[in-house]
Amino acid sequence: MRTNKYYIEQEKIYIMNTYNRYPITLIKGNGQFVWDVEENKYLDFLSGISCTLLGHNHPKVIKAIKDQVDFILHTSNLFYSPPNIELAKCLIENGDLDSLFFCNSGTEANECAIKLARKYQWSLGKEQKNVILSAHHSFHGRTLGALAATAKPKIQEGFSPLPLGFKYESWDDTEAFCKAIDDNVAAVILEPIQGEGGINQPPAGFLNKIRQICTERDVLLIFDEIQCGLGRTGFLFAYQYFNVTPDIITLAKGIASGLPLGVVCATQKVAKTFSPGDHGTTFGGNPVSCSAALATINIILNENILEKVKELGTYFKDKLCLLKKNYPKYILDIRATGLMIAIDFNFKNLLIVEYLQKQGILVHTCGENSVRLLPSFVINKKDIDIFIENVKEYLNDIKLRQIK
Ligand code: PLP
């Protein structure tokens, strides 16, 4: 039998060193569980960084994929494709925007949104209105445009020159942020809840205020819902949770239950700026990914999933708040919206991430001291209790060691 160690060593030889991977080689998934090559079973509170929204290998999604594979794998965008059009209809009819573009990933969706915003302003004769404003601690992707929009010097380092026309402001200071929306700004891009940055919500009223200023100044508002959209807040779109409608939304990650797909939705006034040749991609809107996405969205909408996310989110948050109350020295903060959760500890997060892995639970880090939970929507209260008990055991263990 091949081992985790075997694959770790092989990877080092053949694959570029761009990921800090955990020492686990996953080979199988079912619902909220995954198995590694040594047949260890894990309760997955991470879902491939929020990609397997309905758990691993949901039977209806797998059926939709298999059915499509039997027909055709790829058409190119030179022809029409039913899954592509049916998915577009479903996303548009269940939201407030009018028209969309398909690509393959989150970073590509944001690249497209940036191009669309600039072309929109250009088409109105406002060429100088080309700056993209984003928030500190945001993450929008790693291609050069999306990286330039990502206000994190650490991940921009070494890749100069980045494209021009990007600037950043902290959303903790609403007045300063509004002031930054000057005559040169084409669009503001925001994650309504920052994922990589630590599951941060903006201050109350911030998104409303930015919506108002953008409307007044004909600046486009882009919501990057790549991590926080598609049910994670208990609403199909995160903008519905905040009741603030943007001009453009970007989606990816969980939309096709783990197959690659990105989406840019826009209002008609903005979308009509694009004409043939302005943007495109060979694989965008691939029929297999679109079939998986259509099955995913239909399940989310028709099988009471959004209500379940709200209920489980509240249950999880209550349990975590109680834990924080009982262990105030070790748990410094809990941030939770639906099933998008961060726990700040007073020690290095990797310590508890590795401990939980040994107990058969997968979670992820954000920053140095926070643990991030993005479980699938098929977890249940028992799974949450198992997680809480394991964290409790870890914290009791530290307590004991400190007494000794
Ligand atoms: N935007 C947000 C909010 C993300 O969380 C991510 C990925 O983590 C991206 C963009 C980039 O998406 P991708 O990794 O699919 O390119």
Does 182 score more than 90 pLDDT? yes
Tell me the best of 134, 150, 249, 253 to mutate to test the pocket of ligand 1, counting ligand atoms within 8 Å of each CB and taking the most: 253
CA of 151 to the centre of ligand 1 (A): 14
Given the CA of residue 260, which atom of ligand 1 is nearest to it?
15
Does 398 score more than 90 pLDDT? no
Report the pLDDT value the prediction gives residue 399, as an integer from 0 to 100.
78
Residue nearest to atom 13 of ligand 1 (CA): 106
Structural domains in the chain, CATH included, are: 4-58+304-403 (3.90.1150.10), 72-302 (3.40.640.10)
CA of 366 to the centre of ligand 1 (A): 14
Residue nearest to atom 12 of ligand 1 (CA): 106
Given the CA of residue 196, which atom of ligand 1 is nearest to it?
5
Report the percentage of the chain scoring pLDDT > 70. 100
**Which protein residues touch ligand 1 with a CB less than 6 Å away?**
105-107, 110, 139-141, 191, 195-196, 224, 226-227, 252
CA of 27 to the centre of ligand 1 (A): 24
Of the pLDDT bands very low, low, confident and very high (cuts 50, 70, 90), residue 401 is confident
Alpha carbon distance 12, 4 (integer Å)? 13
pLDDT, tens digit, 9 for 90 and up, residues 66-94: 999 999 999 999 999 999 999 999 999 99
Whole-number mean pLDDT of the chain? 97
Of the pLDDT bands very low, low, confident and very high (cuts 50, 70, 90), residue 323 is very high
Residue nearest to atom 1 of ligand 1 (CA): 140
CA of 301 to the centre of ligand 1 (A): 23
Report the percentage of the chain scoring pLDDT > 90. 97
Report the pLDDT value the prediction gives residue 337, as an integer from 0 to 100.
98
Report the pLDDT value the prediction gives residue 403, as an integer from 0 to 100.
67
* Catalytic sites, residue numbers: 139, 224, 253
pLDDT, tens digit, 9 for 90 and up, residues 216-241: 999 999 999 999 999 999 999 999 99
pLDDT, tens digit, 9 for 90 and up, residues 282-308: 999 999 999 999 999 999 999 999 999
Report the pLDDT value the prediction gives residue 316, as an integer from 0 to 100.
98
pLDDT, tens digit, 9 for 90 and up, residues 78-137: 999 999 999 999 999 999 999 999 999 999 999 999 999 999 999 999 999 999 999 999
Tell me the best of 107, 108, 232, 263 to mutate to test the pocket of ligand 1, counting ligand atoms within 8 Å of each CB and taking the most: 107
CA of 113 to the centre of ligand 1 (A): 13
